[in-house]
Structure 1
Amino acid sequence: MKVNIRSGDTLWYYSRLFMIPLPLIIDSNPGLNGSYLQIGQEIQIPGFTSQAYTVKRGDSFWRLATARNISIDALMLLNQNINPSSLQIGQTIYLPARAIAPFMRRDVTYNSALLARDIQTLKNQFPFIQVRTIGRSVEGKPIQEIRLGKGTKRVHFNGSFHANEWITTPILMALLNTFLLSLTNSQPIRGLVTNPLYQSVDLSIVPMVNPDGVDLVLNGPPPALREELIAMNKGSTDFRDWKANIRGVDLNNQFPANWEIEKERKEPKAPAPRDYPGDAPLTEPEARVMAALARNNPFDRLLAFHTQGKEFYWGYEGLEPPESSILAAEFERVSGYEAVRSIDSHAGYKDWFIQEFRKPGFTVELGYGVNPLPLTQFNEIYEEVLGIFLSSLYI
């Protein structure tokens, strides 16, 4: 919500007026010098939207404020050109509306266009988050990172490495939405006070690593590639089982962690809907983007969301640090998922991260069943992994 500064206003006053932690207001207005505010200057108040309201008979600022449990001065701030003593029936004024519930629907398929819309909605409601395009897919679609927090502990999450595991993206977005609402409303999540986490953690989220693949699964092939992709899909026009990127390369088999072993033993020797590791490590732009992200940001831990199995993998070739077992035990406790230290698999993002940086990395297999998992599992999966999300931040 945007407001214009009046004479005598301060960011501290706005924090008290709207009951929003001051650091969130400061971070919502980068470059703003709180000591030298100017009358008429526009700033953003996180956790609120401005809603148009048509004045009805009997309305007054006092009645409107009382009914909504807000300050009369909050109404005055949003309606600086309105005389509160002479409201007219039919007149349009603006009311501050606190965001108290998630806006995301949990019953819709989630392609890259819907993700872009929801990221923008989050940015509008919670302007203290940072959103940047860290690279582009084969088809030129943006791969976006969401960043928030002021701390030194760097935690990274990602989803939708695999196209038919697209449910991991709205799960991540729902977890983020819950966390943001907790911050602006100063409400704990499962008893955990989250505002200190904002000060101690630098959180990075890439909700959709493989936008081309997700859109292929949900929307079908783009016209220019239709025949090529149908041929790669063994003549089928049903792409629900497609895991790879749009060039038929499995992005989670693309990293230089014993990639040669996967290349030798994987059955596909050419681009395919799943399991083809490519002609060399990091040939695909999506994989290169994620490798560069990890190299340029010293993450302290990394969690990659996949489906399915209700388990997570936390070791690689004995290279994981002792901290990993502590986190794994807590993740297992709060989620009910099985902690699996090692499996006979290589070339994944988590594998490469552990090998490269000797930091804790996790591949979390959400839900149970046959991919793509149905949206009927959404709420169950969300509740299971909420504990993992929170404990990754506070431990």
Structure 2
Amino acid sequence: MKIQVRAGDTLEYYSRLFSIPLVLIADANPGIDPEQLQIDETVHIPGFRENTYTIRYGDTLSGIAKSYQLKLDTLFLLNQEVDPNNLSVGDELFIPIRMSKRVVDPKAHYDFTRLKADIEALAELYPFIQKREAGRSVLHQPLYDLRIGKGQRKVQINASFHANEWITTCVLMTFLNDYLIMLTNGQKISQTPALSLYEQAALSAIPMVNPDGVNLVRNGPPKELEKELITLNNGSADFSGWKANIRGIDLNKQFPANWEFEKKRKPKKPGPRDFLGFKPISEPETMAMAELVQKERFARLLSLHTQGQEIYWGYEGLEPLESKRLAHDFAKLSGYEAVQYVDSFVGYKDWFIQEFRKPGFTIELGIGQNPLPISQFDEIYTDIQPLLVRALES
């Protein structure tokens, strides 16, 4: 929500008026000098949207404010041209509405178009989010990187490395939406004050690493690639089991962590799953994810996958001692099983542990056969939300 500064206004006053933490208002307005607000300057108030109200006979501003449980000056601030002593029936007022419900609908038809719309909606409502691009996919779709928080501990959480695991995007986007709601309402998320997470950790969330693949699974092939993709899919027009990117390369088997060994026992040509590519980090998506982690040097990394209700946390004995403690906490909070080693290599978290000796985790959400049905969402999200909160804590 946007407001215009009046004489004498301060960000601190807006914080009290709207009951929004000052740090969130300041971070939502990075180009503004908080010590010298200019009259008529536009300020974003996060966590609110505007509604219109039509004046009826007998209305007063104080009565309207009381009915909406608002401080009277919020109405004066949003309706600076209105004469409170001369309200006219039929005139419209702007009413600030605090956001307490999600804008993300995880049970909608979730593809890249839906993701983009949800990100734009969240960025509008919560402008302290930093929306970046980690890179672009083969078909030039952005790999969005959403930054929330200003702590010293950098944490990456990613989803949808695999196309038919798109439900992981629904989980991560729902978590982000809930986190933002709790932040701007001064509430706890999984028993932890949301503001303390914001101050402790800097979250980098990449909700859809493989947008081309997700669109293929959810919507079918683009017309110009239909023949080629059906050939790669072993002659089938059913892409529900497709895991790879649009070129038939498995993005989570692209990293140089025992790559030559794994190459010998995996498919030798592009297809719906498990082909490593012709060399490590050959795809624009994996290049972007590798560059991101090399630049940011995250303290922790979580990759959301499906399925199995397991937490993989080790790699070749290179994981730090902190990994065991976190894996134990994650297992206790989620009910999932913590597994140190598994006969699988070349994954993003494997390479992260190998290169940086920092805690990395592959979280296998839900149980069954991919793609998991959206009917599992509620159970998965209930299990995983406390784990994601713990990932941001010290």
Q: Distance in 2 between matches of 1:203 and 1:240?
A: 31
- Secondary structure (helix, strand or coil) at the match of 1:202 reads strand
Once structures 1 and 2 are overlaid, which stretch shifts more, 104-113 or 227-236?
Answer: 104-113
Shift of residue 90 of structure 1? 1.6
1:147 maps to 147
1:113 maps to 113
Q: Distance in 2 between matches of 1:253 and 1:279?
A: 11
Q: Distance in 2 between matches of 1:108 and 1:129?
A: 23
Q: Distance in 2 between matches of 1:7 and 1:337?
A: 56
Shift of residue 389 of structure 1? 0.5
- Secondary structure (helix, strand or coil) at the match of 2:192 reads coil
1:33 aligns to 2:33 (yes or no) = yes
Q: Contact 1:316 / 1:354 at 8 angstroms: preserved in 2?
A: yes
1:137-193 superposed Cα distances (whole Å, 9 cap, x missing partner)? 000111110001111011110000000000000100101111111110001123211
1:137 maps to 137
Q: Contact 1:135 / 1:143 at 8 angstroms: preserved in 2?
A: yes
2:325 maps to 326
- Read off the aligned partner of 1:346 and give its amino acid letter: F
Shift of residue 214 of structure 1? 0.1
1:298-333 superposed Cα distances (whole Å, 9 cap, x missing partner)? 100000000000011000000000000000000000
Q: Contact 1:108 / 1:375 at 8 angstroms: preserved in 2?
A: no
| Superposed counterparts of 1:207-356, under 5 Å | 207-266=207-266, 268-356=267-355
Q: Contact 1:217 / 1:241 at 8 angstroms: preserved in 2?
A: yes
1:105-133 superposed Cα distances (whole Å, 9 cap, x missing partner)? 23212100100000011101111110011
How many residues in Structure 1 have an aligned counterpart in Structure 2? 394
Q: Contact 1:212 / 1:245 at 8 angstroms: preserved in 2?
A: yes
Which aligned runs of 4 or more in structure 1 are off by greater than 3 angstroms? Answer: none
TM-score (norm 2): 0.99
1:391 maps to 390
Q: Distance in 1 between matches of 2:101 and 2:71?
A: 21
Shift of residue 61 of structure 1? 1.1
Q: Distance in 2 between matches of 1:203 and 1:91?
A: 44
Q: Distance in 2 between matches of 1:265 and 1:62?
A: 73
1:60 maps to 60
| Superposed counterparts of 1:363-374, under 5 Å | 363-374=362-373
1:246-301 superposed Cα distances (whole Å, 9 cap, x missing partner)? 000000000011111121110x2110000000000011100000000000001000
- Secondary structure (helix, strand or coil) at the match of 1:86 reads coil
Q: Contact 2:131 / 2:147 at 8 angstroms: preserved in 1?
A: yes
Q: Distance in 1 between matches of 2:362 and 2:6?
A: 50
Q: Distance in 2 between matches of 1:372 and 1:320?
A: 30
1:358 maps to 357
1:344-392 superposed Cα distances (whole Å, 9 cap, x missing partner)? 1111000000000000000000001111111111111101001110111
2:84 maps to 84
- Read off the aligned partner of 1:379 and give its amino acid letter: D
Q: Mind listing any 5+ residue stretches in structure 1 that lack a counterpart?
A: none
Q: Contact 2:103 / 2:122 at 8 angstroms: preserved in 1?
A: no
Q: Distance in 1 between matches of 2:85 and 2:222?
A: 59
- Secondary structure (helix, strand or coil) at the match of 2:272 reads coil
1:14-53 superposed Cα distances (whole Å, 9 cap, x missing partner)? 0000000000000000121111111000010001011122
1:173 aligns to 2:173 (yes or no) = yes
Q: Distance in 2 between matches of 1:227 and 1:355?
A: 39
Q: Distance in 2 between matches of 1:148 and 1:89?
A: 43
Q: Distance in 2 between matches of 1:120 and 1:249?
A: 29
- Read off the aligned partner of 2:262 and give its amino acid letter: E
Q: Mind listing any 5+ residue stretches in structure 2 that lack a counterpart?
A: none
Q: CA RMSD in A?
A: 0.8
Shift of residue 57 of structure 1? 2.5
- Read off the aligned partner of 1:124 and give its amino acid letter: E
Shift of residue 200 of structure 1? 1.4
Identity %: 53
Once structures 1 and 2 are overlaid, which stretch shifts more, 312-321 or 54-63?
Answer: 54-63
Q: Contact 2:148 / 2:198 at 8 angstroms: preserved in 1?
A: yes
Q: Distance in 2 between matches of 1:60 and 1:308?
A: 57
- Secondary structure (helix, strand or coil) at the match of 2:157 reads strand
